Amino acid sequence: SRQWRGVIREYADRLDVTDATPVVTLGEGGTPLLPAPALSRRTGADVWVKFEGMNPTGSFKDRGMTMAVTKAVERGAEVVICASTGNTSASAAAYATHAGIKAAVLVPEGKIAMGKLSQAIAHDAQLIQVQGNFDDCLDIARDLAEHFPVHLVNSVNNDRIEGQKTAAFEVVEVLGDAPDFHFIPVGNAGNYTAYTRGYREDIAAGNATKLPRMFGFQAAGSAPLVRGEPVKDPETVASAIRIGNPASWQLALEARDLTDGYFGAIDDERILLAQRILSAEVGVFVEPASAISVAGLLDRAEAGQIPAGSKVVLTVTGHGLKDPQWALRLPDGSDVAPTVVPVDTAHVAEVLGLGA
């Protein structure tokens, strides 16, 4: 058996690389596509979960970052820069340090999850907390990349989208064709754009016969694509997608029109309920932003939009350990109180309701 070689080497013939390209990889991609019987039962569809939390830094960003940092190094960059709600900064930090270059990351002060903040620091990035939101951070990052010798690795960089399209290739390889529906969280809409590109290329390559309908979801307090205008002060527990002015807005609309797709909004309560359903009924723990794929499916199934037996893929974008605090509160709002016992087997048996 051989080791998975990361998305650039696995898909070299479908990416802009040559034998001379200095591949920077941490073994990203090759993530599980898992059947989710509990969600199939709830919806009548045939539901599969693409678990992107299994990437090296715990999110789908690694697929794009291997490509973005590889191309940066190929072009001689010594510093990469990004704005981030947390996952992009964790990924940029890891890949830059692996490549022996520097990463500078701009994050909204106090608004990114502790796990992600820890990753950026652990991987030795220069971390700058901006007193503003993600959209402000991206404005500054773009400004800096325009005027200084720093290489931008946000998803406005096409190399990111190229790397991320490989997730669609993996889905098609497992299912034998594209699914009928693909549900995905939307922040900047880079990943929504990337999957659409991947599926299109799979049709052109003869690997798939159809495009899935691309269903993208934003948090209700942060849903510019649904409202049709930027949101000035976006708010949501799903901090990864707390974005008011998506960078790939136009590409996202084109992808939606091309795939007969849909953009929907989900409130925070239903995001957290979906997170709980996925962790407690399927066994997959994701961060709140990722759970919006599940919430979106439940919402659209309830609306009667998903015919029985439809093949449905949900991308869950980031690992639950990134931002674990939400799991400690149950959907009814109560905090989880751990059961404490003395060192006594009979006592534990009684608490567990075992025996007579």
Binding residues (CB under 6 A) for ligand F0G: these are 59, 61, 84-88, 155, 185-192, 240-241, 287, 289-290, 317-318
Give min distance, CB of 218 to ligand F0G, in A. 9
Nearer to ligand F0G (CB atom), residue 241 or residue 277: 241
Give min distance, CB of 148 to ligand F0G, in A. 20
Nearer to ligand F0G (CB atom), residue 73 or residue 238: 238
Give min distance, CB of 253 to ligand F0G, in A. 13
Nearer to ligand F0G (CB atom), residue 46 or residue 111: 111
Cβ pair 131, 60 in contact under 8 A: no
Give min distance, CB of 84 to ligand F0G, in A. 3
Name the token pair of 269: 């309560």
Nearer to ligand F0G (CB atom), residue 275 or residue 310: 275
Where residue 283 falls (left for φ over 0; alpha for ψ -120 to 50; beta otherwise) is left
**Which residue shows structure tokens 């993996």?**
170
Give min distance, CB of 130 to ligand F0G, in A. 13
Nearer to ligand F0G (CB atom), residue 244 or residue 318: 318
Nearer to ligand F0G (CB atom), residue 66 or residue 85: 85
- Tell me the three state secondary structure of residue 103: strand
Nearest by Cα to 52 from 30, 25, 31: 31
Cα distances (Å, whole numbers) of residue 197 to 12, 54, 143, 201, 315: 16, 22, 28, 6, 15
Nearest 5°: the CA angle 167, 63, 45 is 25
Cβ pair 300, 294 in contact under 8 A: no
Q: Alpha-carbon distance 325 to 20, whole Å?
A: 44
Give min distance, CB of 245 to ligand F0G, in A. 12
